Amino acid sequence: MPTYGQIKRQIDLNPFAILMLRNELKALPEIIREDEYIDASVHGYWNNRHALLLATTQRILLVDSDAQGDVEVIEFPYDNTVTVRCPTPDSVVFGTETRKIKIDNTIEEYIAGFYKVVKDRLEGKVPQIYRERDIYSEGKEEQQGFSEQPQQEQGSNPFHVLLKGLDGITKMINPDVRVSQSDKTAEKPTAHSQPAEPEKTLDELLAELNALIGLQDVKDEVSSLVNVLKVEKIRKEQGIKVPERSLHMVFHGNPGTGKTTIARLLARIFKALGVLSKGHLYETDRSGLVAGYTGQTSLKTMEVCQKAKGGILFIDEAYALNTDDTYGPEAVNTIVKFMEDHRHDFVVIVAGYEEKMTEFINSNPGLHSRFNKYIGFKDYTPEEILEIFLIQAQKVQLKVDEAARKKAYKLFKKLYEGRDASFGNGRLARNVFEKTYEKQANRLVKEGVEKADISMIKEADIPVMED
């Protein structure tokens, strides 16, 4: 698996994008394959939130995270089912006939580079791109990249990202300018590898679960399941038989309600209980399972299942596999067989809207007999969304004054009362915070950065619905 340092030398993003995409960037070592390189990187907006778009040597990747920091990956391999076009200079549309994705409000130079790379790959050409040939070599020092830790001279000033943005603007104006080695003497290389973080105990994982905002019904369901598994573990140790149990689950609810967060915690909890050997979460959707030709889907799906073995396979919008063509059912049948062959070290969680998920489970007898636990994720209340918003501000050392809190609460309450199935929940809190952050920056520049309190979010910084 490539290291964080190896990957970050391939990323070309400005400082503001790096701040907004910190969760997506941290997840890349688990996403990028050992024989895969990043040719182009783009920061844009997808479904009204920040997203990272990558063109690699093997596929197109859309990397996105929710308010809880859970990362979703959508991939499209370079085959004849994929198309790409730029409807405007600052947007790109790509995907297959069954799924199209549009990224908006991007920097035109970056989009142009991404479009050219993808176009060349789809035509079987090798793009002309500058890249260090030994980027994955052992012991190579890191020359440039991104870091979540601020440099010492920046102190605790969150406004430094705007000042650093001048470097990014220079690079955009003249992308051919390269920084000389003498200019980088002040940069401190990081270690090639870092010691692994010690695994948390079961009690620590349960404490992490209970610390999550809202989700009380979900917490109760998970706690009940954990209690059963704890007792069964003791019975097994004493040589007492326990009934066969299916741990495959259906998570249903609107987007942004913490489904991926809970799935990731469950994977680690199951490992702590000895149910799974690795305890990792592998996330995918229809595009990651279905191939372009009949017969290839089962091979692609089997590869995904093998990667998820020992952990949890999390399939978002799983109902998209319930189609009239042969591809979706082929993927489902492959997963069902793998579930049976590896039932003692493989768990599947399918997620999506309640009605569609019920339809999906009932569409295949193999699914219906294996998924007997349904966990519903309710929408966050306005109070809970405000709490998530305040946590987002706290992460970047910003305070929110009382007037701003009241205005944010009124906004969340109004949006909550008029919500539909696409209500953003936790993602709404993150999106509103990002708009707030931008509005605060504009206000500070007008007032004068030296005189203003740059650590305080005020009422004027909170967006209105029209924003």
The pTM assigned to this predicted structure is: 0.60
- Quick: pLDDT tens for 264-318: 999 999 999 999 999 999 998 888 888 877 678 889 999 999 999 999 999 988 9
Model confidence at 177, in pLDDT bands (50, 70, 90)?
Answer: very low
- Quick: pLDDT tens for 333-373: 999 999 999 988 999 999 998 889 999 998 888 888 889 88
- Phi first, then psi, for residue 33 (nearest 5°) are -80, 165
* The pLDDT value given to residue 466: 57
Q: How confident is the model over 154-165, as a mean pLDDT?
A: 41
* The pLDDT value given to residue 181: 36
* The pLDDT value given to residue 295: 74
Q: How confident is the model over 247-253, as a mean pLDDT?
A: 93
Chain-wide mean pLDDT for the chain? 80
Q: How confident is the model over 452-459, as a mean pLDDT?
A: 87
Which class does domain 202-377 fall in? Answer: alpha beta
Is pLDDT above 70 for 439?
Answer: yes
* The pLDDT value given to residue 142: 40
Characterise 205 by phi-psi region: left (phi > 0), alpha (psi -120 to 50), beta (else): alpha
- Quick: pLDDT tens for 392-417: 898 888 999 999 999 999 999 999 99
**What is the domain partition of the chain in residue ranges?**
4-90+106-132, 202-377, 382-461
Which class does domain 382-461 fall in? Answer: mainly alpha
Q: How confident is the model over 81-95, as a mean pLDDT?
A: 85
Model confidence at 69, in pLDDT bands (50, 70, 90)?
Answer: low
